[in-house]
Chains A and B, each alone.
Chain A
Amino acid sequence: MKGRMNGGGLRAYAVLYLLFLYAPIILLPLFAFNAGTIIAFPLKGFTTQWFQEMWGNPTLRRALTNSLTIAVSSSILATCLGIFAARASTRFAFPGKGPIMGFIMLPMVLPEIIVAMSLLVVLLGAGIELSILTVILGHVLMCTPYAIAVLTTAFSSLDKSLEEAAFDLGETRWGAFRLVILPLVMPGIISALLISFTISLDEFIIAFFLAGNEPTLPTYIFSQLRFPKAIPVIMALGTVLVALSIVLLALGEYFRRRGNARIGATGTGGLV
């Protein structure tokens, strides 16, 4: 029964590890609803004051509008680019495929500061004014690789003969894509949209350097961290952001799985 013991020990470790992963996040709601102004135990009582303050803050509202604008545009653009790339890489052989795909996926590992700085240098050099538009440029670059990763799994699980069958039955190429491929990868597309949206919503470095004077939610948070009085509101805001991210991801996962179930496929994959 050594095996059991082994599994048990590992299991305890894995649970501890999960606790470690979640420890900071669990604090968020605790202190977001805590009446005290400093983030320390013991808790002082329940309040929704911080959420009300948050809602009443005009800069924060502006940051929210900006963040949403950026996240929506970036996720749509990144997903579109991702569809092109995923389709190209799963369906066609073309010269230089490996290096090209590697290059497009590079932002996944490149330190963001390098991306932000180099882009900043070029934008300033070209005399382009910083705005949420420039942030979108950067976010699309950051989100595309993740969209590609999700979409590639979706596209590659498709049997090539499905498309050929549609073509054989008299559809045009575009018709075959629209009537067969697109519906079948739609869950992957939704999943890619949600993930890109989440990444963009939470992204700090690029927004920090490329937004000019426009606040986004993360840069707003960063700017408030110096003021101890603002911390509870930040906690409230953080709670909302994290909750939103989790909901979006759960939705993304749901769509991915539903898509799999629909075409009778199984397996994990997804973000992995």
Chain B
Amino acid sequence: MTEDRKPMIECTGLNKHYGDYHALRDIDLTIREGEFFSLLGPSGCGKTTLLRVIAGFEDISSGAVLIDGKRMEDVPANKRPTNMVFQSYAIFPHLTVAQNVAFGLRRDSRSKSEKDALVEEALQMVGLKGYGKRAAHALSGGQRQRVALARALILKPKVLLLDEPLSALDRKMREQMQVELIKLQRQVGITFVLVTHDQEEALVMSDRIAVMFEGRIAQLDGPEALYARPADRRVADFIGVMNFLPADVTGEDAEGNVTVDVSGLGEVVLPPKQISRLTSGDERPMVGFRPETMTLLSASATRSQERETGATIDEVVYYGDMTYYDLRLDGSARGDGNARPVRISMRNVFGREVQDVGTRTRVAWSPGSLVLFR
């Protein structure tokens, strides 16, 4: 959707050292105009560092950052066309809400009344109309968040950088703000770069996501691709739930289609687009699949277009709208004595009964939803 837009942020060969610590390693990254882009990764992987490099708060050891086509090495943070929403929001506690929002306009030559109008407009945009005179330190977390947004957006930056802006909010508030942020981004059309360690949040909000581990970008893709076809096993593990089954590669043809014998599932042939990398430390190839790609067949169901495997229900976890089943696939114990059960999820639609532990059952699955890690 944004493929054709011009690049807004380009990072090439970026490296950042803190003393001996190599915080960013060979980052190559292009973020396009108007994109909602997320940096996702576990704690300490360098997301904040990368964001702060883009904002101009951190110098880089090597490489280059371009924003809107201009090299940024000699441009300090206060001169860059970016604005930031800090994790702690950094609302100035000694100012009112309106003064906070107007802070960046101080050096602007517009008249007082024009500025007031801009502030009012910005407050309205984030849903804080009429809050201008309030003392900033007396606001709730969600309100601070909105002030921080208004304060940054009023300057009409080319890029808005957000460092875990929702992590301090409770679950309900967070979900509400996610939706509002998406709407806001569509409304203003500014490039958003969001840092988060919450994979769900990244999937919900982003056009594209860069998954980072230990200072490196492990995969850069849209949410669906990231979820369906993780580039390596660590990404697969980090995003959502994935079941892994040991597999043996038995053949490979000229087009790159690989034949594997999967513990518990039997022989399948997987095309190249379903083949990803293992992560260092893994000993043997594995085949992964998401919980919702396998379906529990009720006793009455007779046939499906997909493949079927017999299984025993090991554990049932009931969530109301969903039920999770831990299954032991027939024949999965082959090779390594006690294979881990796989987890599948079933939506509790009307008429579908929750099954009991110990029940013998059959599951249906499709080779198209498998990913081979080799």
Q: With A170-B78, A170-B104, A183-B94 as given contacts, are A165 and B84 in contact (CB-CB < 8 Å)?
A: yes
Beyond contacts A170-B107, A179-B103, A179-B106: 16 other A-B pairs, Cβ-Cβ < 8 A, are A164-B86, A164-B90, A165-B151, A166-B92, A167-B77, A168-B57, A168-B77, A168-B82, A168-B84, A168-B152, A169-B151, A170-B155, A171-B106, A171-B107, A184-B93, A263-B94
The reply to whether B83 and A161 contact each other, CB–CB distance below 8 Å, is: no
| 22 A-B contacts (beta carbon < 8 Å) | A161-B88, A162-B92, A165-B90, A165-B151, A167-B77, A168-B55, A168-B77, A168-B78, A168-B152, A169-B83, A169-B103, A169-B104, A170-B79, A170-B104, A170-B107, A170-B155, A171-B103, A180-B94, A184-B94, A262-B93, A262-B94, A264-B93
Total number of A-B contacts with CB less than 8 angstroms?
Answer: 65
State A263–B57 Cα separation when bound (angstroms).
24
Which residues of the other chain, B, contact A165 by a CB distance below 8 angstroms?
84, 86, 90, 92, 151
Q: Who on chain B is nearest to A186 by CB? A: B94
Which of the four size classes fits the interface of chain B? 20 to 34
Measured CB to CB, the residues of B under 8 A from A are 55, 57, 76-79, 82-84, 86-88, 90, 92-94, 103-104, 106-107, 137, 151-152, 155
Name the residue among B77, B93, B107 with the largest chain A CB count within 10 angstroms: B93
B103 touches A166 (CB 8 A): yes
Q: Contacts of A264 on B, CB cut-off 8 Å?
A: 93, 137
For A166, what are the chain B residues with a Cβ–Cβ distance below 8 Å?
92, 103
Measured CA separation A170–B151 after assembly (Å): 12
Complex CA gap A49/B197 in Å reads 76
Q: Does A266 contact B (CB under 8 A)?
A: no
CB within 8 Å of B: which A14-57 residues = none
Q: Complex: how many Å from CA A264 to CA B152?
A: 23
**Separation in Å of the A188 CB from the closest CB of chain B?**
13
Is A171's CB under 8 angstroms from B78's CB? Answer: yes
Q: Is A172 an interface residue (CB 8 A)?
A: yes
Q: Which residues of B contact A263 (CB under 8 A)?
A: 93-94, 137
Q: What B residues does A161 contact at CB under 8 A? A: 86-88, 90
Closest to A172 in B: B78
